[in-house]
Structure 1
Amino acid sequence: MENGPIVTVLHRDSAPASDLMAPVAARAEVRYTEAAGLADALTGADVLFLYDFQSRAVPGAWPAAGALRWLHVGGVGVDPVMFPELQASDVVVTNTRNVFDGPIAEYVLGQIISLAKDLPGSLRLQQRHEWRHRESDRIAGATALVVGTGSIGRTIARLLRAAGMRVRAIGRRARADDPDFGSVGTDLHAELPGADYVVAIAPLTAQTRNMFDAAAFAAMKPHARFVNVGRGELVVTDDLVAALRDGTIAGAALDVVDPEPLPTGHPLWELPNVVLTPHNSGDFHGWRAEIVGAFTDNFGRWVDGLPLHNVVDKSLGYVPG
């Protein structure tokens, strides 16, 4: 569209479907690019839509972004774009909050049930044609500690409560009567000893990087299980491996790891008390259309001069609650 804003869309492998992007194309010039062409596509662009929201290409292309006014991340985590030059700029950053809340909460509940009932162990016995009676744990009455009190953490807490679990949380501000979390604490190590399940969904910031280290795992119960749906870098991976090997904790379900993708031969592949998934806990059928819809809705607001949804506080690295 002549004389309209310029919108650059960074994708990998395939661009968003043209019919989904039609509301933007009707009001803007749209440039589609993969990472190698990002700098050229950013020249003169007003808006950058990170459809490939895990890309690390933006810092390298930043010198070409002199006209950029708004950057929209197609996922929830914005750590790939929280580099100093962008943080110091006037560019507004938004994310795609709420699209993945329900699917990730379902994943967490599913993994907790799977760990409690040892479904991976049952599958291994089945594959060996071995009929062995075993007992399992109940999740009703067990305590889950949700580390991260954003919208995904809230949705997780609601679903776990509906399944009969007791829920507590760790956040930036302590409070006693939160409608979803019950009590919210700020001291991770003080709360870990009371948890049967620990769910990591905190954003990755300087304060949360490596928060789950040897001392954190040592503070957990020996029968506790760890579920990570946040970022792999929240965890010191070698410390997690050691805790799982020596029985400091009973097991883990990991949708995110550090490094990612997990290299061939890494010990996490072989540990019998670990369930791994490839960073897809929120990826339901149709999720790509949902994230494009979230962007086109926000783009309409931006063009019309209305406040944008899900504006990231760049000093914090996430959308404040």
Structure 2
Amino acid sequence: MDAAAPGPVPPPLVVVLTGDDAPPSLRAVEALARVRLVGEPDLAAALPGADVLFVWDFWTEAVAAAWPPSGGPGWVHIASAGVDRLLFPALVESGTVVTNSRGVFDEPIAEYVLGLVIALAKDLHGTVRLQGERRWRHRETERITGARALVVGTGPIGRAIGRRLAGAGLAVSGVGRTARAADPDLGTVHPMERLGEALADADYVVLAAPLTDATRDMVDAAALARMRPSARLINVGRGQLVVEDDLVAALRAGVIAGAALDVFVDEPLAASSPLWEMPNVIVSPHMSGDATGWREALVQVFAENLACRVEGRPLRNVVDKRLGYVGSRGVQ
């Protein structure tokens, strides 16, 4: 007697870790998989049976605490470009594949950075402040054409920033893991160990690097002292790239001329932070990449990658868990 034919393979189970809000629509995901939405309290119970974990709440630090001692989903996807909150030892050492949402934020962040450069050069934040005080005070402003911008971070976001700034007339260079000349987006790229030398020549220093052991606290008092007194620091990467107390001290002492900060060590930024009231600082609430439609785009990136998995094609945006970002190939 012939053995019974195997039954149909059930679709994968995707656990979606939500936060204060849920994804806008998961119809494309539900067409490919069984979907279970959970909050942080239910995550530990949901993970052992999950095939995939979709970390929609990219602020969470609950995944590490909930990760099962053995097993766990074979694939974890996060709805952000940064993956630093996922790279805890148990996940790094596991065979679980990690992917991110690379591509959603590149151009919006590049546009935002260009806006910040213009705002700083033209003192737009000062103009708004004076308008609120009904004060008519004429000032001269700066040109951005010919100014020198140093982009720290040579991934897709850093490259988009480089292209946007170069298109506006700035002379762009970069800092990354590997030195190279004549990069199509960033011009001369300096190695990370020569960051201090590169800082000395820049009018605008833009931080767009991922948070790794190599980049944490890389802008400290010594690095700030290498910058020009007329230079500005723009951070759209991670708050932990900068030693915040050192930056406050440098701004107060006039070591650098100003800063535009979209990310902070602790978020939301505490109301007691002196950064709020500094006239040479622009503070924004981690919004540089959040252009209209970004939530839908995040779901689309995951759904397209889920289709790759269901159809047996390589996943895209695969993170090198040792490096902390998507590697050169980015597929698996």
TM over 0.5: yes
Q: Which band: TM-score by shorter chain?
A: over 0.9
The answer on whether the counterparts of 1:177 and 1:183 sit within 8 Å (CA) in structure 2 is: yes
1:69 pairs with one of 68, 74, 81: 74
Report the 3-state secondary structure (helix = DSSP H, G, I; strand = E; otherwise coil) of the residue aligned with 1:275: strand
Distance in 1 (alpha carbons) for counterparts of 2:42 and 2:165: 44
- Match of residue 298 from structure 2: 291
Q: Does 1:23 align with 2:23?
A: no
- Match of residue 256 from structure 2: 249
What is the Cα deviation at residue 65 of structure 1?
A: 6.9
Distance in 2 (alpha carbons) for counterparts of 1:64 and 1:23: 31
Distance in 2 (alpha carbons) for counterparts of 1:82 and 1:110: 32
- Render the CA deviation track for 1:236-290: whole Å, top value 9, x for unaligned: 0000000100000000000001122211211111111111011111001110000
Distance in 2 (alpha carbons) for counterparts of 1:255 and 1:50: 22
Matched letter for residue 310 of structure 2: V
What is the Cα deviation at residue 3 of structure 1?
A: 2.3
2:18 pairs with one of 11, 21, 35: 11
Report the 3-state secondary structure (helix = DSSP H, G, I; strand = E; otherwise coil) of the residue aligned with 1:176: strand
- Render the CA deviation track for 1:197-240: whole Å, top value 9, x for unaligned: 00000000001000000000000000000000000000000000
What is the Cα deviation at residue 55 of structure 1?
A: 1.2
TM-score normalised over the length of structure 1: 0.97
The answer on whether the counterparts of 1:39 and 1:64 sit within 8 Å (CA) in structure 2 is: no
Matched letter for residue 76 of structure 1: A
1:124 pairs with one of 90, 111, 129: 129
Please give the residue correspondences for 1:73-222 in structure 2 after superposition, counting only pairs within 5 Å. 73-186=78-191, 187-222=194-229
- Match of residue 273 from structure 1: 280
The answer on whether the counterparts of 1:44 and 1:65 sit within 8 Å (CA) in structure 2 is: no
Tell me which structure has the larger Cα radius of gyration: 2
Matched letter for residue 224 of structure 1: A
Distance in 2 (alpha carbons) for counterparts of 1:163 and 1:238: 32
Matched letter for residue 43 of structure 1: P
The answer on whether the counterparts of 2:32 and 2:306 sit within 8 Å (CA) in structure 1 is: no
Distance in 2 (alpha carbons) for counterparts of 1:65 and 1:45: 13
Distance in 2 (alpha carbons) for counterparts of 1:6 and 1:61: 17
What is the Cα deviation at residue 13 of structure 1?
A: 2.2
The answer on whether the counterparts of 2:47 and 2:68 sit within 8 Å (CA) in structure 1 is: no
1:38–1:64 Cα change, 3 Å = farther
The answer on whether the counterparts of 1:2 and 1:29 sit within 8 Å (CA) in structure 2 is: no
Aligned residue pairs, count: 319
2:43 pairs with one of 32, 38, 50: 38
The answer on whether the counterparts of 1:43 and 1:64 sit within 8 Å (CA) in structure 2 is: no
Identity of aligned residues (%): 57
- Match of residue 312 from structure 1: 319
- Match of residue 243 from structure 2: 236
Matched letter for residue 35 of structure 1: E
Distance in 2 (alpha carbons) for counterparts of 1:196 and 1:90: 44
- Match of residue 5 from structure 2: none
Where does structure 1 lack aligned partners over 5 or more consecutive residues?
A: none
Distance in 2 (alpha carbons) for counterparts of 1:104 and 1:35: 29
What is the Cα deviation at residue 320 of structure 1?
A: 1.9
TM-score normalised over the length of structure 2: 0.94
What is the Cα deviation at residue 64 of structure 1?
A: 6.6
Distance in 1 (alpha carbons) for counterparts of 2:40 and 2:234: 32
Report the 3-state secondary structure (helix = DSSP H, G, I; strand = E; otherwise coil) of the residue aligned with 2:64: helix
What is the Cα deviation at residue 2 of structure 1?
A: 8.2
Matched letter for residue 202 of structure 2: A
Report the 3-state secondary structure (helix = DSSP H, G, I; strand = E; otherwise coil) of the residue aligned with 1:233: helix
RMSD, matched Cα: 1.3
Matched letter for residue 186 of structure 2: F
Report the 3-state secondary structure (helix = DSSP H, G, I; strand = E; otherwise coil) of the residue aligned with 1:159: helix
